[in-house]
Structure 1
Amino acid sequence: MELVRIGMIGLGNMGTGHAKYLINKEVKGAVLTAVCEPRPDRLEWARENLGPDVQLFENLEEFLSSGAMDGVLIATPHYDHPDVAIRAFQHGLHVLCEKPAGVYTKQVREMNTAAAASGKVFSMMYNQRTNPLYTKLKDLVSSGELGEVRRTNWIITNWYRSQSYYDSGGWRATWAGEGGGVLINQDPHQLDLWQWTIDMMPKRVRAFCYFGKHRDIEVEDDVTAFVEYENGATGLFVTTTGEAPGTNRFELSGDRGKIVVEDGKLTFWRLRQSEREFNQTFRGGFGSPECWKCEIPIEGQETGHKGITQNWVDAILNGTPLVAPGEEGIKGLMLSNAMLLSTWTDNWVDLPIDEELFYHHLQEKIKTSKAKKNEAYRTFEV
């Protein structure tokens, strides 16, 4: 194979953006050959803007069975991601899936099983993994520069959303339409980076989610979560869509100092001697290890969505290692599911979570959801 033929599933905001850079040949070794979209107005846009060489489909099964593609890029509603991916794998297609991996880990685990059985290349659109700030942070942690991680703290409150935003679609901020609020809609990238940069998942979570605290919505819009790790480290994750001005600050504390990512900079307060060694040898009263404030130089540019798509294509053509393996999509979702479940049960939640219990609670929320049926968000019949 010299060229990967890509089929686009979904032409909403994200799908349209992907289709544009593919049709402009901004991903080497890839060509957009087909689109599946059930909405007539979006199909008309595709007909006018993507050219005669791109086949258009309304029906998903006809699309997957057409033989017009080698892999698919899924940009459908959240609930549909796992089901659509599973069907693509069953048709022998490679898959690149938009975030989040799904709404609940039970369905995502089924997707991962199907991916493994297919032997196809499966990637997740975690484009923030191409951000040199976070790749450098991951390098500092994995190389041992920070020492053993002791505390993580991410305040991500710059997701401000007005009531008019939520009122723009009957599916928005509903359990039936999106399956959650700030955790599933705005925070998937941070939840992924939180565990990816330190290569460590918490062992248990205690969270406090507030539903419709700042806006007239039924899902969570304000969350504070405390986590514990196997090595004794602790962490805090704070997020909301109702705060202005907001903050985006990721802080890691380790045995050899502290790293902060904020305002596009990575700052390392580096200890000349590890805290543990200093504590064992120091005999004074109020001393502390010598510390250097280092502004870490960041090299490279964030390649974003195109970078992840290019990496997926390169993996198909040349076996290039994936930046964001699809199977890892369950990790960030596990964290958000745990936060909701902890709130619903008013208790600690161990990881991995009780997936059946979470599914049960979610279904109860869906039963009373106010999602408007005449503004169906889930348009793909699976």
Structure 2
Amino acid sequence: MGKLKIGVIGCGSIAQHRHLPEYAFNKEVELTAVCDLNEARAKEVAEKYGVQAYINYEELLNSADVDAVSVCTPNYLHASISIAALNAGKHVLCEKPMATSKEEAEAMIEAASKSGKKLMIAHNQRFVKSHQKARQLIENGEIGKIYSFRTAFGHGGPEGWSVEGKEGWFFQKEKAFVGAMGDLGVHKTDLLRYVLGEEIVEVGAFVETSAKDFADVDDNAVCVLKTESGIVGTLAASWAYVGKEDNSTIIYGEKAVLRLEEDPNYSLVVQYANGEVVNYELGKIQSNEEGGQQNSHVVEQFVDAVLNDKEPLVTGEEGMKSLAVILAALESNETKTITQI
């Protein structure tokens, strides 16, 4: 098989900072097409990468020379475009959150299954070295029984780095469906499920719009989560953290505490009950602050899954389970009750 021919649908920040550079860097890939409703943006990006520009994604799917696509559009279009691409016989890498409802997510999974094509969701926190190491330590029993956790993902908000600033779709409920919880919170629900090796079964949440008076989506959310074995903890997602981005997770176990992405020098610090401390330098987590040009490993994992006919590391089913926690948080906030998943 020759190089994998890729089309990128949606040319906003995530495409420009992650998908396009990572595809361009990958030796097994040939970028052939890009698409954006904003014609000037589509043309500019197409010119930069020497590929064909489209304004209509259906036209790209029908006429472009592509084997697979990245879907980097506003959230409300993820499902319809992914399903159209799968039905057109293309493999799909879809940005998170994969969809805006369980029904949409199920329809995407069904389309992938019917077409026999790969569907991967771009949850990049699973590929962070410190997170992988933490999962391994927990799996090996080195931390003992896990009691609790707290995780946060917050920064000053997408207006600082998205292509359209405050006018962008991130802040419009009909396009984004959910704000900081969908942008950042879903990353952390995916991370917790991955690191703890358990499903989250109950959620209590406060989901507020308190910092962005121009937005009609949430910008601050705090959730209490409970897993199937009874581990309880908190998740905070915010677009209102001035100063440094927070992307940290702390896991409290019987034999040790794991501190992930909290210390500026060590991406994982393990504090054992006997007083011993082990510091791991495992490379920095990605952040938007650094221009986001580091490799997120999402693209290379997707390309590998397609070329070597392997199950993607974050399947549609996995994406749906991480989305389910966010949907439950929204329901909990609406009903003012603990929501079961």
TM-based fold match above 0.5: yes
Cross-structure match for 2:254: 255
- Tell me if the contact between 2:269 and 2:280 (Cα under 8 Å) persists in the aligned partners: yes
Residue identity matched to 2:155: W
Residue identity opposite 1:6 in structure 2: I
| Match in the other structure for 1:179 | 177
Instruction: Find the counterpart in structure 2 of residue 208 from structure 1.
Output: 206
Give the Å deviation of 1:86. Answer: 0.7
Q: CA deviation digits over 1:331-362, x for unaligned, max 9?
A: 222111111110101111001xxxxxxxxxxx
Q: In the superposition, relative to structure 1, how do residues 9 and 155 fare at CA in structure 2: closer, same or farther (>3 Å)?
A: closer
Does the CA-based 8 Å contact 1:5-1:33 persist in structure 2? yes
Shift of residue 111, structure 1, vs aligned partner: 0.8
Q: TM-score, normalized by length of structure 1?
A: 0.78
Q: Would you say the 8 A contact 1:123–1:327 is kept in 2?
A: no
Larger Rg: 1
Residue 307 of structure 1, CA deviation: 2.1
Question: How much has 1:70 moved relative to structure 2?
Answer: 0.8
User: Partners of 2:20 and 2:324 in 1: how far apart?
Assistant: 30
Does 1:295 pair with 2:279? yes
User: What is the RMSD computed on CA atoms of the aligned residues?
Assistant: 2.6
Q: Which residue of 2 aligns with 1:56?
A: 53
Q: Is the 8 A contact 2:76 2:174 kept in 1?
A: no
> Match of 2:303?
313
Q: Does 1:267 align with 2:269?
A: yes
Superposed displacement of residue 121, structure 1: 1.7
The yes-or-no answer on 1:199 pairing with 2:204 is: no
Letter in 2 for 1:225: C
| AA in 2 matched with 1:226 | V
Q: Deviations over 1:63-103 (max 9, x none)?
A: 21226111111111111111111111111111111222122
Q: Which runs of 5+ in 2 are unaligned?
A: 287-292
- In structure 2, the residue matched to 1:77 is 74
CA contact (8 A) 2:105 2:316 kept: no
> Alignment length, in residue pairs?
327
The normalised TM-score by structure 2 is 0.86
Q: Distance in 2 between matches of 1:65 and 1:298?
A: 43
Gaps of 5+ in 1: 272-289, 352-382
Classify the secondary structure of the residue corresponding to 1:69. Answer: coil
Instruction: Give how far 1:184 is off.
Output: 1.1
User: Separation in 1 of the partners of 2:105 and 2:232?
Assistant: 27
Shift of 1:6: 0.8
* 1:8-55 alpha-carbon deviations (Å, 9 max, x no partner): 111122223333443xx411211011222232212321453232xx23
Distance in 2, matches of 1:169 and 1:149, equals: 43
CA contact (8 A) 1:128 1:304 kept: no
Residue 8, structure 1, aligned to residue 38, structure 2: no
Residue 332 (structure 1) aligns with: 322
Distance change >3 Å, CA 32–CA 229, structure 1 → 2: same
Shift of 1:191: 2.5
Residue identity matched to 1:293: V
SS in 1 for 2:248: strand
Mapped contact 1:227–1:234 kept (Cα < 8 A): yes
Q: Which residue of 1 aligns with 2:147?
A: 150
